[in-house]
Copies of this chain bind each other. A is one copy, B any other.
Amino acid sequence: MDIATGLGLLAGGVVLVSLILMGGNLGMFADTHAFIVIFGGSFSATLIRFPLTSMFHGLPLGARFAFTMRRTTQRELVDEIAELAEIARKQGPIGLEKVEIEDPFLAKGIRYVADGYDVSFIRDNLERDRDNFLTHLDEGQKIYRAIGDCAPAFGMIGTLIGMVQMFANMTDPSKLGPFMATALLATLYGALVANLFCLPIADKLHGKLLDEETNRTLIIDGILMIRDSKSPALVREMLLAYLPEKHRHEEGEPVPA
């Protein structure tokens, strides 16, 4: 699990609730009016903006991926693939059947190798999977960003509607306060949805998209080399060369021997 996302949301919630409780009660900040305009309005605009299928795939995938995290670094992934190449070399593809692999994408590829499919079938299937996955993750990122971009505008729209109603019915200026408070809630909701939720999530998904593109391409290359019975040393060397420079080395401090 990606602890940072959860921690961040939790911290944001704590900050918000403490602020509210310091000056009043929570009920004062719950408002159907503001809720409808922010979520209804952003949802409507996003529905117009994207094809329906993008919405169905992108939103839940984005939500899920903002919270999950690959437990291994890219270098550990290379090590794991090199070990699998070692096993395949010693025990043949059959030996791979008994190995337990955590990463589902890697596991699937290894199963293909163990089952003896040919190279072009494995490549086609895994690339198709990777491309579908990346497309949906990118759609998810774009949808969260689009919501984050329009939520403040809908906050302003909600506040404007509230102010128009308030001013139109205004008889006694001294009773204006509570109405004004309610009208401002829509702006508050819009700013919170954008700045504490949607835009940070979109930024995190963008980072994960870049990582997963490297990870899955690396896994595909590794599996195809295992299928071709390449030596573990060669597999490791070629996969390391594939990594972006900054991941090529372990983070530990080198010690002169």
Contact = CB atoms under 8 A, between A and B. Distances in A.
Interface of A: 2-5, 7-9, 11-12, 14-15, 18-20, 22-24, 28-29, 32-33, 36-37, 40-41, 43-52, 55, 66, 69, 111-112, 115, 117, 124-125, 127-129, 131-132, 134-135, 146, 150, 153-154, 156-158, 160-171, 173-174, 176-178, 180-181, 184-185, 187-188, 191-192, 194-197, 199-201, 203-204, 207, 245-246, 248-249, 251, 254, 256
Given A23-B165, A117-B256, A178-B168, A48 B160 contact: no
B157 A191 contact: yes
B158 A19 contact: yes
A33 to B, nearest CB: 6
Please indicate which of the listed interface residues A8, A112, A192 has the most CB atoms of chain B within 10 Å of its own CB.
Answer: A8
A18 to B, nearest CB: 6
Nearest to A186: B19
A117 to B, nearest CB: 6
A181 B201 contact: no
B170 A177 contact: yes
A153 to B, nearest CB: 4
A16 B111 CA distance: 53
A201 to B, nearest CB: 6
Contacts of A160: 184, 187-188, 191
Contacts of A117: 256
A164 B186 CA distance: 11
Contacts of A164: 28-29, 181, 184-185, 188
A23 B162 contact: yes
A130 to B, nearest CB: 10
A168 B181 contact: yes
A240 B69 CA distance: 34
Please indicate which of the listed interface residues A131, A132, A158, A196 has the most CB atoms of chain B within 10 Å of its own CB.
Answer: A196
A207 to B, nearest CB: 7
Contacts of A204: 48-50
A20 B156 CA distance: 15
